[in-house]
Every structure is written in structure tokens, then in C-alpha cells.
């Protein structure tokens, strides 16, 4: 059933959700700079043990998310996306607050797993915006929301590092819990979800009768899930070696840490700047063409990155990678929404989040493996190859199924 979207409702939703995912991005990323250091305070560990436990604490959140997200997505389609956003915000507020009271590393790892199980805030935020925004404005709206979370992720490590210097690690976890509680309040009072007026029995029958076997546009959606996973794999593959690669370029620089931070932040900064622009272009010229352009931009950036001889050139090329993300990520979300039944949008977005979580785990593992077997530069060659294969998959899937 077609929904009517009062102008003030969907525009206010975009503004409020942008702010909510911005704050969430800060909350989720501000603990990353000192997570390993915090683990070191929870026991008498060797360097190898701290590395192992840090990897486990990082990965467990994404692994649990990959399995649990579709369950929350199905519930969101039945009960509402706003309710699931409130559930996720409240859950993360409690979990982060409890992390400040952990007394051993296994408690922390368990809570990181619970964080993954109770997540889904961003995917349901995207689903809410996708279902509450006129289709002709969807690309721009989703592009705007992407900038909020990306900007929060960029600022989070800076905020977290500053707070960890001023307070104890435990206090930062408590503050992060309060931040998520503030997000809960914003969503509760300022976000409005208009749901279609369908008889409950009919709606339930629709939801229960549709499975992956008879889902319309199933091949298109699965292809987009794989596209998301591969994009995330490539984006995360440089994480284990970014500082080491910068050190290889400038071995004796006193500003190594600062420059490594700039290199790491460059893609996110580009995405924040470019995503709303490309979102509007996608609404005007077509989402499919925007994704194809995004692949070309990514490949054209990754290949020369393997041959850089200066940090300045590395920063420029990483910025261009961020522009490719600005074309790809919101456009993929838009295509997912356009090819999903209205009563399954959250479920589809949740499956996409699961594939994204798999990419978040696979990326650093792949990057570390390539760096150990070959060298740092080959990571970018493999990234270009993955994006090339990703583009072929998308074009083939699109032409075969006419997305």
C-alpha cells in the first residue's frame, strides 16, 4: 500500500536520525583507541595474549551481528523500525555501561558479543529512512544518513582518546552508555514512523508467506549483499597495516602517528563530503549507474596506491577511495529498498548488515595475510582486483535481473 509522507515528518526524521547515527558512530568508535590498553589492565598478559584478546574482542561483535541481525530485521518488519531502534539504543546503553565494571577479559569479550547481539541501530535507521521517505528523495536521504555515521566514526577515536586521557577507561565506557541513552531519548520523542494501514491479519499473512524461495527480486538482493560484503572487506583490509605502511614511506618521521591518523581518516572525510551530493545525483540519473561509477573510481584509486612513494599521494588516493564509498554505500541501500517488499525492508537491510559484518571480519584478516605472505603494497592490488570482480558481478546480476 502506498504511504503518504508529510513533508515535515520525513525531513525531520532525516535530521534526527542523522544526529542519532552521528552520536552512535562516536559511541561505537570512541573506545577503539584504548580497547587493547583496557584489556591490558584486566590481567597480567604477554604481548601476544593482548593481541589475541584484542582481536577476539573486536571480531566477536561483528560475528554475532552477522547471525543475529536477520532476526531483529524480521521483528522490525512486524513491530516497526522505530521500536527496533529504541531496543538497540537501550541495549547498547546498558552494555557499554556494564563494560566499565568488567574485572576480567572474558567478561569484556562476552559483553562485546552481547553488543553485537543487541545491535542493529544503524541498519534499522536506514530501513526507517528508506520506508518513510518519498522514493524520489530516497538516495539523497540515505546519503545524508551515511554521512552522519561516517562522521561519528571519524570523530569517535579522537573523542575517546581525549576522554581516556582525562578520565579512566571505565569512566569512558560509562559516558558511552550515557551517550546511547541520549540517542534513545531522541528517537523516542522526535522520530515519527508512519505505517501502512493494512488489516493486521492480511499483513501477517503477507509476511509469513514470503520466504527466500518466493521472494521477488531475490537474485538482485543477494547480489547486492555480496557487493556490500566485498566493499566492506576492501575497506577494512588496510586497517592492520595502515601505520606500518606509513612508517615504510617515512621511516624516521616524528609525525608518524599523526600522518597515519590522517591516512586512516581520509576515506571517511571524503564520504562525509560527497555522499549527499552523489545521493542527489543518483535520484536524478539512476542508482545503478552511480554504483558502476563507484567501482571505476575505486579501481582507479587502488591500483596507483600500490606504487605511491609519498604520504601526500597516499592521502589523496585514500580520499578518492572515500569518494567511491560515497557513491557505492548509499546507492546500494537505495537499490535494496527499491527491490524489497514494503513489509520486508528491515529484514533485507538486516541481511545486508550481516554480510557487511562478515566483510568487517574478513577484511583485516585478508590484509594481514597478504602483508605477511607478500607485502603491504599487494593489499591494494588485491583490493583493486576484488573491486573489479565485484563490478563484474554487479553488472552481470543487474543485466540478468534488470535491477
- Do domains 1-197 and 209-403 share one topology? The answer is yes
For the record, the C-alpha cell of 262 comes out as 590522517
Determine what percent of the chain falls in helix, strand and coil, rounding each to the nearest 5: 85, 0, 15
- H helical segments located in 133-255: 138-166, 169-190, 200-209, 218-237, 242-249
d(CA 222, CA 240): 29
Give pLDDT, residue 205. Answer: 46
Give pLDDT, residue 115. Answer: 93
Give pLDDT, residue 7. Answer: 55
Burial bucket for residue 52 (CB in 10 Å: 0-12, 13-18, 19+): middle
Q: Which residue ranges make up each domain of the chain? A: 1-197, 209-403
Give pLDDT, residue 340. Answer: 82
Q: Give the predicted TM-score (pTM) of the model.
A: 0.81
- H helical segments located in 238-286: 242-249, 256-285
Phi, psi of 251 (to 5 degrees): -65, -25
Write 34-38 long-range contacts (CB < 8 A, 24+): 34/160, 34/161, 34/164, 34/169, 34/172, 37/164, 37/169, 38/108, 38/169
Domain 1-197 listed as CATH 2.60.40.10: no
Per-residue pLDDT of the chain (403 residues; tens, 9 = 90+): 445 445 567 888 999 999 999 998 888 888 877 788 888 888 888 878 887 888 888 889 988 998 898 888 888 888 889 999 999 999 999 999 999 999 999 999 999 999 999 988 988 898 898 888 887 788 788 888 888 888 888 888 878 878 888 888 899 899 999 999 999 999 999 998 886 654 444 455 455 555 656 677 788 888 999 999 999 999 888 876 777 788 888 887 777 777 887 888 888 888 888 888 887 777 777 788 889 999 999 999 999 999 999 999 999 999 999 999 888 988 888 888 888 887 788 888 888 889 988 998 888 888 888 888 888 899 999 999 999 999 999 998 877 766 5
d(CA 177, CA 13): 23
Q: What is the CATH number of domain 209-403?
A: 1.20.1250.20
Amino acid at each position: 500500500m502506498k504511504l503518504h509522507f508529510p513533508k515535515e515528518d520525513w525531513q525531520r526524521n532525516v535530521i534526527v536520525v542523522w544526529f542519532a547515527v552521528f552520536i552512535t558512530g562516536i559511541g561505537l568508535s570512541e573506545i577503539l583507541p584504548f580497547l587493547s590498553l583496557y584489556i591490558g589492565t584486566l590481567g597480567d598478559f604477554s604481548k601476544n595474549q593482548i593481541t589475541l584478546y584484542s582481536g577476539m574482542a573486536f571480531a566477536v561483535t561483528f560475528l554475532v551481528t552477522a547471525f543475529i541481525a536477520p532476526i531483529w530485521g524480521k521483528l522490525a518488519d512486524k513491530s516497526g523500525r522505530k521500536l527496533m531502534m529504541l531496543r538497540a539504543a537501550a541495549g547498547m546503553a546498558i552494555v557499554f555501561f556494564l563494560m566499565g565494571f568488567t574485572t576480567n577479559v572474558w567478561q569484556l569479550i562476552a559483553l562485546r558479543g552481547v553488543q553485537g547481539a543487541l545491535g542493529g541501530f544503524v541498519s534499522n535507521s536506514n530501513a526507517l529512512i528508506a520506508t518513510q521517505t518519498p522514493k524520489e528523495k530516497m538516495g539523497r536521504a540515505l546519503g545524508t544518513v551515511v554521512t552522519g555515521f561516517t562522521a561519528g566514526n571519524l570523530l569517535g577515536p579522537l573523542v575517546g582518546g581525549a576522554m581516556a586521557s582525562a578520565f579512566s577507561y571505565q569512566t569512558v565506557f560509562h559516558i558511552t552508555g550515557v551517550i546511547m541513552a541520549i540517542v534513545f531519548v531522541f528517537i523516542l520523542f522526535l522520530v515519527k514512523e508512519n505505517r501502512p494501514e493494512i488489516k493486521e491479519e492480511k499483513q501477517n499473512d503477507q509476511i509469513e508467506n514470503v520466504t527466500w524461495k518466493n521472494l521477488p527480486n531475490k537474485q538482485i538482493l543477494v547480489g547486492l549483499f555480496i557487493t556490500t560484503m566485498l566493499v566492506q572487506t576492501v575497506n577494512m583490509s588496510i586497517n592492520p597495516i595502515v601505520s606500518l605502511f606509513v612508517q615504510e614511506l617515512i621511516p624516521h618521521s616524528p609525525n608518524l602517528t599523526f600522518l597515519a591518523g590522517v591516512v586512516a581518516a581520509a576515506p571517511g572525510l571524503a564520504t562525509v563530503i560527497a555522499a549527499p551530493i552523489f545521493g542527489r545525483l543518483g535520484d536524478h540519473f539512476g542508482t545503478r549507474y552511480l554504483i558502476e561509477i563507484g567501482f571505476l573510481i575505486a579501481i582507479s584509486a587502488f591500483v596507483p596506491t600500490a606504487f605511491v612513494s609519498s604520504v601526500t599521494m597516499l592521502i589523496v588516493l585514500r580520499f578518492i577511495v572515500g569518494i567511491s564509498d560515497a557513491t557505492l554505500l548509499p546507492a546500494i541501500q537505495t537499490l535494496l529498498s527499491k527491490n524489497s517488499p514494503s513489509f520486508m525492508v528491515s529484514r533485507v537491510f538486516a541481511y545486508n548488515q550481516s554480510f557487511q559484518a562478515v566483510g568487517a571480519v574478513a577484511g583485516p584478516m585478508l590484509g594481514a595475510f597478504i602483508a605477511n605472505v607478500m607485502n603491504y603494497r599487494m593489499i591494494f592490488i588485491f583490493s583493486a582486483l576484488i573491486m573489479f570482480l565485484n563490478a563484474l558481478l554487479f553488472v552481470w546480476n543487474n543485466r540478468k535481473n534488470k535491477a
